[in-house]
Amino acid sequence: MAVTGAVLVLYLVAHMLGNLKVFFGPEEINEYAAWLRTIGSPVLHHEWFLWIMRVVLLASLILHITMAAQLTARARRARPARYRHRAKVQGSYAARTMRWGGVIIALFVIYHVLDLTTGTVHPEYEHGDVYGNLAADFAPERWYVTLFYVLAVVAVGFHLRHGLVSAVQSLGLSSPQRARALHLAASAFVVVLVAGYLSVPFAVTVGLVD
């Protein structure tokens, strides 16, 4: 889970940085989107890099979900009888919401791809016009879409907060001396990432981008 998670996290960082291009105007982000399709050329054919990346991401995602499902099933088996009285969480909420958070994120990713990659559920999708698609998507009257995006991104934040710490521990890379630093670093990373993602719909909503 740690390794596949790490691949997904790297992608999230790149995606977030790309998103920020929106603040430099329609030309820059649209040009960036077009460039993505040319990475690796002329060695690679047009869009090949993109497709390789998509395959890697999809494989990571599937593995990640499969392992999560296995762990969940194992946890269910390990405790066939439930407690009648459940206490409040002692560890962290982020840790206890991994599973439901993961499901929400997965649903979101499906919607997100249909929305801004294929345009299937987008009201006025135009291939290649990233800027325009964004502006239309987060238009103020479509506040529910924006809200869904915000919730999903916050869920990603929680998921990552625990995921990062847990991954580092699963890989045996932490130590008692570094534990505090690890927690702080994970929190800081998550805050920056979430802020970066949220800045786009926020900017559209308040009219900075339209």
Partner 1 sequence: MKITLRVWRQKGPEDEGRMVEYRLDDVSPDMSFLEMLDVLNEKLILEGEDPIAFDHDCREGICGMCSLVINGTPHGPEKATTTCQLHMRKFKDGDVITVEPWRAKAFPVIKDLVVDRSAFDKIIEAGGYISAPTGSAPDAHSVPVPKPAADAAFEAAECIGCGACVAACPNGSAMLFTAAKVTHLGLLPQGQPERYDRVVKMVEAHDEAGFGGCTVTGECTAACPKGIPLDTITRLNRDYLAATAGRRKKTR
Q: Interface residues with partner 1 (CB under 8 A)? A: 71, 74-75, 77-92, 95-96, 98, 162, 165-166, 168-176, 179
Cα separation, 210 vs 202, whole angstroms: 11
194 within 8 A of 186, measured Cβ to Cβ = no
Q: Which is nearer to partner 1, 70 or 120 (CB)?
A: 70
* Three-state secondary structure call for residue 129: coil
Tokens of 172: 């045996």
* Three-state secondary structure call for residue 81: coil
Q: Which is nearer to partner 1, 141 or 177 (CB)?
A: 177
Closest approach, Cβ 35 to partner 1, in A, equals 38
Closest approach, Cβ 23 to partner 1, in A, equals 37
Which residue in this structure is represented by tokens 């392992």?
67
Q: Which is nearer to partner 1, 83 or 144 (CB)?
A: 83
Closest approach, Cβ 154 to partner 1, in A, equals 20
With DSSP H G I counted as helix, E B as strand and the rest as coil, what are the percentages for the chain, rounded to 5? 75, 0, 25
Cα separation, 133 vs 6, whole angstroms: 29
Long-range Cβ contacts of 69-74 (<8 Å, 24+ apart): 71/1, 72/99
Q: Which is nearer to partner 1, 42 or 84 (CB)?
A: 84
Q: Which is nearer to partner 1, 95 or 150 (CB)?
A: 95
Closest approach, Cβ 80 to partner 1, in A, equals 6
Closest approach, Cβ 178 to partner 1, in A, equals 9
204 within 8 A of 29, measured Cβ to Cβ = no
Q: Which is nearer to partner 1, 130 or 167 (CB)?
A: 167
Closest approach, Cβ 67 to partner 1, in A, equals 9
Cα separation, 174 vs 15, whole angstroms: 27
